[in-house]
Copies of this chain bind each other. A is one copy, B any other.
């Protein structure tokens, strides 16, 4: 795939970043000026949690929940809005499932004077009205997808008038609209190289903050869906490997959507229905749909090409954690550190707790760092269901993975 394939829906500067081999790309002052509304995000030492675990390990977390949208997503939304504005674009379209990304792009579009249209998966539109309200507060138009405004939407509605929608359909609608209008581009919230690039502000800050207290992590944990918050916190530490630092990077995923731990490394589509160019990545098959999982941001069948390559080369570890363990970890964290974490973030917390407990057994005083990618203020129904005993560890979806892997595209 070359730059031309992307030009219909992305501005030139973002395509250049997507293809760049430069180590450093400066952050424009206009972007910095907006990021300052919540950055640098705080780095905390989780002393109460350490005490509760009776561990000799030091646990640090980078708190990305302090952004107005409540997660790390605005870090790239702001940059994407800026470069689109510079390119003369007037409108952005995007899809959103749980609403984190739609909120972030709505906020960023508002701050740069771009109109934003969000295709929100219909089931989420109805179940998560507060995320929709946030997007509207930031001035965005939000539609329940499938809509009758696009060919893709109309096609689905003709076949399934009562369709609840899916992320794949919403992507098709948003991309179709952007491809068909000169004044409109499309924006994606994870997976792509330029998205991970923008998120490295997390790790760059964390390095400086740890330096201020004279510390350096032995291990870094981040939840991994599309890969942007993992790449964001981990890649800046990665560069130190050449300088002899031995930091271990761990991607944490749900056992119900075990892309890195159970997927295959091959070419596949980025979306569910096969519209995108092929990406070389770990994948469970583009039509794999995990059931019964409350971390909506970790339901992606594939993974960032960069994270995939590093995992394939043995430079990024991966671990899968079952759902109940993640909520148990989230509650332990909330009861000791105060913040109620998003279900995605609880994956990183669970893996960190495993390691901290291991340190308690071995007596090692390791320095652990995890990315608290977001708060759970709009996920309280998931906590409710956890307390009510209604959540389960979905079994390892062996049959579903086998079936979806059978649909992988044939690559010449």
Contacts and interface: CB of A to CB of B under 8 A. Distances in A.
Query: Which secondary structure characterizes the binding site on chain A?
Result: helix
Contacts of A137: 331, 334-335, 340, 380, 383, 387
Interface stretch (A126-134, A196-204, A239-247): A126-134
Contacts of A336: 111
A110 to B, nearest CB: 5
Given A107-B338, A110-B335, A133 B68 contact: no
A384 B134 CA distance: 9
A238 interface: no
Given A331-B137, A335-B138, A68 B377 contact: no
Given A66-B66, A70-B377, A377-B70, A111 B338 contact: yes
B129 A384 contact: yes
A378 interface: yes
A334 B137 CA distance: 7
B68 A338 contact: yes
Interface string A40-76: 0000100010000000000000000011111000000
Instruction: Give the number of copies in the complex.
Output: 2
A371 B161 CA distance: 49
Contacts of A339: 37, 68
Q: How large is the interface on A (under 10, 10 to 19, 20 to 34, 35 or more residues)?
A: 35 or more
Given A44-B37, A66-B66, A383 B133 contact: yes
Contact of A378 (B48, B377, B381): B377
Nearest to A68: B338
- Most interface-central of A136, A338, A380, A387 (chain B CB within 10 A): A338
A129 B387 CA distance: 13
Contacts of A317: none
A111 B48 contact: yes
Nearest to A377: B377
A111 B334 CA distance: 10
Nearest to A337: B37
Contacts of A138: 334-335
A340 B68 contact: yes
A107 B339 CA distance: 9
Nearest to A338: B68
- Most interface-central of A37, A107, A129, A137 (chain B CB within 10 A): A137
Contacts of A37: 44, 48, 337-339
Q: What 7 pairs across the A-B complex have the smallest Cβ distances?
A: A68-B338, A133-B380, A130-B380, A377-B377, A133-B384, A68-B339, A37-B338
17 contacts: A37-B338, A37-B339, A38-B338, A66-B66, A67-B338, A68-B334, A68-B339, A68-B340, A130-B380, A130-B381, A134-B380, A136-B383, A136-B384, A137-B340, A137-B387, A138-B335, A377-B377
